[in-house]
Amino acid sequence: MKIQLDMYQTIAVAVVVLMLGKFLKERVSLLERFCIPAPVIGGVIFAIFTCLCYVTGIAEFSFDDILKEVGMVFFFTSVGFQANLKVLKSGGKSLIVFLGLVITLILCQNFIAIGLAKLLHISPLVGLCTGSIPMIGGHGTAGAFGPVLEDFGVKGASTLCTAAATFGLIAGSVMGGPVGKRLIEKKNLLDTVIAEDDSLLIEDEKKHERHASMYPSAVFQLIIAIGIGTIISKLLSLTGMTFPIYIGAMIAAACMRNIGEYSGKFTIYMGEINDIGGISLSLFLGIAMITLKLWQLADLALPLITLLAGQTILMFLYTYIVVFNVMGRDYDAAVLSSGVCGFGMGATPNAMANMQAVCEKYAPSVKAFLLVPLVGSLFADFLNSLAITFFINIL
């Protein structure tokens, strides 16, 4: 029996799953203690349910996930509005260092994938199906480069990349919170929280009081940025590179924010935009989690499971040791480590959810919330596309 849900039913189920995750997180101390994001809790439970229905032949669920893309674009557009140049200037060195760490991670993921593939006597191109394509790139890059690898003779590359991205989405979401928690508590990092962080917040809560009447204007600003962003995205596609659909909207939003900031001709309603972005993030993650097809992981052969295990170990060691130490061995570094688990094995929204779960438990980290979306969304996908193209052509 096939159960097909339209976009309205899909988002309704996603909201119920979000509420379930929040309910369980509030009542199961283990989930709260390890900072597991609410969408992941409810989403994994629902994904297991749909998987059992599929493998037993009881039912197969089909979702219209078009609103997932809408939620994703709205969220990243709200992130683009946070790109205040005045704040970016204050963290220039950290941005360069963090970008270097992400580039190193991309290379490490591909070297690990190729190295393990050779040890297992399988094609290095099959190994790439579990490298930075699905890990840093997520489902979007997996969908873009899977057919490319199939053209190079890797049978079922799209399925392998998608399955690896699914695994990474779950592993990165589950790992991020505990990594941040362990670093913070084991090393007593709450003492390193910078009280002056409040002065660097992109939205100054003390100066900006939210009003219900401002939310329509905030929505209109988001929509205008998204509309302009479609043109920017089309121009970027002319380069032949693969970019996420939201990149153009992020750039447009950043331009609008800074034009308004420096000219003083119009007001950007940052408080309301951030609220709308937060809701969009929750809806995006809810739909993304309920549409996971866990049975794709069961179809993976033992060598591919070994490859994914290698990527998981790499991610834990890289974030726990390298990212934490290089970024300063302080509270911000611990939150950044939890975020890298998210976008390094899945997607930037998962990184944001990981960091949000950690910060809700301990304290805010402006530095982490500035660097991760900026590098994870704008730079990582661009650099990853270059690296993937390079590796495919040399193998």
The structure tokens listed for 389 are: 């193209």
At residue 123, φ and ψ (nearest 5 deg) are -60, 135
In order along its 395 residues, the chain shows pLDDT tens digits of 899 999 999 999 999 999 999 999 888 887 776 667 788 789 889 989 999 999 999 999 999 988 988 988 898 888 788 777 776 666 578 888 999 999 999 999 999 999 999 999 899 999 999 999 999 988 768 877 888 888 888 887 887 888 888 888 889 988 999 999 999 999 888 887 865 444 544 444 444 567 777 889 999 999 999 999 999 989 988 887 666 678 889 889 989 999 988 888 888 888 889 889 888 888 888 888 888 887 866 656 688 889 999 999 999 999 999 999 999 999 999 999 999 999 899 778 789 889 988 998 899 888 898 888 878 766 787 788 888 888 988 87
Dist. CA 367–CA 388, nearest whole Å: 29
Is 2 strand, coil or helix? strand
121 Rama class: left (phi>0) / alpha (psi -120 to 50) / beta: left
Q: Give the model's pLDDT for residue 268.
A: 86
Is pTM beyond 0.85? Reply is: no
Q: Residue 202: helix, strand or coil by DSSP? A: coil
152: which DSSP letter?
T
Asked if 383 and 132 count as a contact pair (C-beta separation under 8 A), the reply is no
Helix, strand and coil content of the chain, in percent to the nearest 5, comes to: 75, 0, 20
Question: Is residue 188 within 8 Å of residue 354, measured between CB atoms?
Answer: no
CA distance 230 to 243: 12
Residues with Cβ within 8 Å of 58's Cβ and at least 6 positions away in sequence, in order, are 1, 52
CB atoms within 10 A of CB 96: 10
Distance, in Å, from the CA atom of 219 to the CA atom of 210, rounded to the nearest integer, reads 14
**CA dist 25 → 15, 35, 179, 338 (Å):** 15, 9, 18, 18
Identify whether the C-beta of residue 282 lies closer than 8 Å to the C-beta of residue 18: yes
The C-alpha atoms of residue 21 and residue 43 are separated, in whole angstroms, by 7
What pLDDT shows up at residue 376?
79
User: Which DSSP string do the residues of 51-70 spell out, in sequence order?
Assistant: HHHHHHTS-EEEE--HHHHH
Return the SS3 of 360. helix
| Domains observed in the chain | 2-202+217-394 (1.20.1530)
- The whole-angstrom separation of Cα 293 and Cα 310 is 22
Tell me the residue length of the chain: 395
Rounded to whole angstroms, how far apart are CA atoms 289 and 300?
A: 20
pLDDT at 197: 46
Instruction: Report H helices in 91-209.
Output: 92-119, 124-128, 138-151, 157-186
Interatomic CA distance for residues 119 and 21, integer angstroms: 40
- Please give the Cα distance from 21 to 25 (Å, whole number): 6
Using alpha carbons only, give the angle 170, 378, 308 rounded to the nearest 5 degrees. Answer: 30
Which are the contacts of 341, defined by CB distance < 8 A and separation ≥ 6? 172, 175, 176, 179, 315, 316, 319, 351, 354
- Cβ partners under 8 Å of residue 366, min gap 6: 197, 200, 201, 202
- Residue 34 has a pLDDT of 62
State the CB neighbour count (10 A cutoff) for residue 15. 15
- The residue whose two tokens read 């989403």 is 43
